[in-house]
Structure 1
Amino acid sequence: MYGNFFPEEFERRWHNLISEYGLSENEWLQKTYGIKEMWASSYLNDKFFGEIRTTSQCEGIHSLIKNYISKKCYILELIHNFNEALTQYRTNELLSDFKSLFTTPVLTTCLQDIEKQAADIFTKSMFKEVRCEIEEAGKLNVVTHSVNNNEVKVRINKYRQPGRECEVQYDKATKKFACDCRLFESRGIPYCHIFCTMRHDHIDIIPDTLVCTRWTKNAKKDYICSVTSAETNSENIAGIRYGALATLCFTLCESASKNRDDFMEIRDDIFGLIQKLKKRRDPDSNVLSNACMVGDPTVVKTKGAPRQNRWAIKSRKCSHCTRCGHTIRRCPELYSRDVLHTGHH
């Protein structure tokens, strides 16, 4: 609704514009108006575009590829640079998956139950958009609220814009929401009008009808399960499988590494799976021993001179007779020799 017009409002503004400038006989404007459903946002709000409109996706790819291509680029260099760009795409995707799975956002809105569930469902980038809609819901007011059996109708306006209203319909039985703005249908995320209705009716759980699988953390899992048998061996599908398995392994490693027993169990299970796959690919391959597996490091004594007791008393040793217990000053041999020498004189 805000930032977009309803079809009725579009019609009113269009005719006012044509009348103001006397363009009713303009052939180009008449032709453009005839295909308004193909370009006017008011008629496209119920169409899902995955946040891609016009040539934005192509322009985004071009801006990335041009960094690897120059006018004097050879074919071999072009292919190499293109592979580099593709690798960067895949790396960014894995990094985004990692951040979505292993980072927890700080809850900042007043609807923390709904915000926390959104953080668990949606990817990190999409959660930021959903959180903005939850914040926008605080600026909306409920004008009227009516209930007829399971059907709930709520009329909503925005703070300081009381003249612009929209209606949200909610079915308690099917948990389906429908809003005049149709922005949920076009963007695939719950819009602020829906969150305002949920707040007013004390609904603290986002229903499945408001979750678009494309924007969830499990989107890859559902996509891979839908792949037909004819596509199972393509390189594209192999790359998707790799990314999906990598994200699952990240979760497994994070949980198992915190406890030694869990680590040992998961390590043995992974080792068994590796051997199973190797045998399936090559029945004649050698089976690795458990000694090849990585475990906790063995605690050993440090190298170098042995540690000495700093408080140990060293025994005294004579430098003349090399006996312990006395020094040269009190050496018995020297003492007896001195006595004999004195007596002789």
Structure 2
Amino acid sequence: MLGDYKVGAFQRKWFEMVEKFGVADKRWAQDMYERRHSWATSHIRRKFLAEFHTTSTCEDLHAVISWYVKSRYSYTDFLHHFHRCLMFGRAKEVEADFECAKGDLVLTTNLKQLERCAADNYTQTIFYLFVPILDRTCAMRVVDFEDNDSYFIHTVSRYGTPGKDWHVVATSEMSEVRCTCMKIECFGVPCDHIIVVLVFNNVHEIPRSLILPRWTKDEKVMGCSRWA
């Protein structure tokens, strides 16, 4: 039920599941379905979540804090060690900023121009999340193309999975590109369906409309200048 289905497919699979296991009339199952907009991937993928779908991020933070703070500490000791934890986090951030500014990223995919564009714009963390998307693009194909004057509709399919298609709508200049998977709305990074459409149209750089400012190297500097 957490699969990345379209809304219609999710509803069909849900009703098939509750009927199969005989829980369609159970109140807890009905309540869960009523709250589907807060947990089902099909319904939340259009909401920007910065890839935070689980409690894993909080758990990682708790693990770091537990290195410094213990339950036996007094209030004074807690403040002292929590301050050490904050200093550790700030030091790691400075280190990441330095690597982002001075580090030389190694390009590994076959889409060198798009990968170089990503390396020039994204932080290292986001870049390394984006590289697998470029790798998956080789399994994607544009199987249909429709010209509607001001925009184009591309039908994208993954090799080996016939019948499961995505539709990518793009303007003629590729200044605006959107996909029915809505992953860019959820995470802020172009999906593999959009990338294969860029390749199909011989676009060598990621359009600015697809680069979320908060994931770029310059955002911290620009953010500070806006608040100055």
Partner residue, 1:212:
212
SS state at 1:50 partner:
coil
Distance 1:21 1:62 in 2: 37
- Counterpart position of 2:151: 151
Secondary structure at 1:178's aligned position in 2? strand
* Residue 107 (structure 1) shift: 1.5
Mapping of residues 4-19 of structure 1, within 5 Å: 4-19=4-19
Q: How far off its partner does 1:198 sit?
A: 0.4
Contact map agreement 1:150 1:173 (CA 8 A) in 2: no
Contact 2:174 2:207 in 1 (8 A): no
Q: CA deviation at 1:20?
A: 1.5
Report what 1:122 is aligned to: 122
Of the two, which has the highest radius of gyration?
Answer: 1
Residue identity opposite 1:211 in structure 2 = I
Instruction: Spell out the pairing of 1:1-345 with structure 2 (5 A cutoff).
Output: 4-173=4-173, 175-227=175-227
Q: Judge conservation of contact 2:168–2:177 (CA < 8 Å) in 1.
A: yes
Amino acid at match of 1:226: R
Name the amino acid aligned to 2:22.
G
Query: Distance between the aligned counterparts of 1:148 and 1:75, measured in 2?
Result: 66
Residue by residue over 1:210-265, the C-alpha shift from the partner in whole angstroms, topping out at 9 and shown as x without a partner, is: 001111101112222332xxxx6xxxxxxxxxxxxxxxxxxxxxxxxxxxxxxxxx
Give the aligned residue type for 1:97.
Answer: D
Report the AA paired with residue 15 of structure 2.
H
Match of 1:254 in 2: none
Contact 2:109 2:134 in 1 (8 A): yes
Task: Specify the alignment match of 1:330 in structure 2.
Answer: none
Instruction: Give the distance between the partners of 2:8 and 2:198, measured in 1 at CA.
Output: 27
What is the DSSP-based 3-state SS (H/G/I as helix, E as strand, rest coil) of the residue aligned with 2:165?
Answer: strand
Distance 1:54 1:116 in 2: 31
Read off the aligned partner of 2:37 and give its amino acid letter.
E
How does the TM-score come out when normalised to structure 1?
0.63
User: Could you tell me how far apart the structure 1 residues matched to 2:180 and 2:32 are?
Assistant: 25
Offset of residue 205 of structure 1: 1.4
Q: % of aligned pairs identical?
A: 27
- Distance in 2 of aligned mates of 1:73 and 1:190: 46
Displacement of 1:61 in angstroms is 2.0
**Offset from partner CA, 1:66-111 (integer Å, 9 cap, x none):** 1112233222221111111001100110111111111121212111
The Cα offsets for residues 268-307 of structure 1, whole Å up to 9 and x where unpaired, read as xxxxxxxxxxxxxxxxxxxxxxxxxxxxxxxxxxxxxxxx
Contact residue 140 and residue 157 of structure 2 kept, 8 A? yes
Q: Which runs of 5+ in 1 are unaligned?
A: 233-345
Q: Indicate the larger mover: 16-25 or 185-194.
A: 16-25
- Cα offset for 1:150? 2.6
User: Distance between the aligned counterparts of 1:159 and 1:173, measured in 2?
Assistant: 27
CA distance in 1, matches of 2:106, 2:57: 31
Q: In the aligned structure 1, how far is the partner of 2:57 from the partner of 2:213? A: 20
Alpha-carbon distance change, 108 to 55 in structure 1, aligned in 2, over 3 angstroms: closer
Secondary structure at the residue paired with 1:161?
A: coil
CA displacement at 1:174 relative to structure 2: 6.7
How high is the TM-score relative to the length of structure 2? 0.94
Q: 1:214 corresponds to which letter in structure 2? A: R
Instruction: Look up the SS of the partner of 1:168 in the other structure.
Output: strand
Work out whether residues 37 and 43 of structure 1, in 8 Å CA contact, stay in contact via their aligned partners in 2: yes
Structure with the bigger RCO (C-alpha within 8 Å, sep 6+) is 2
Query: How far, CA to CA, are the matches of 2:84 and 2:13 in structure 1?
Result: 49
User: 1:116, 1:50 → 2: CA distance?
Assistant: 23
Contact 2:153 2:170 in 1 (8 A): yes
Residue-pair matches, total: 226
Distance in 2 (CA, whole Å) between partners of 1:174 and 1:127 is: 21
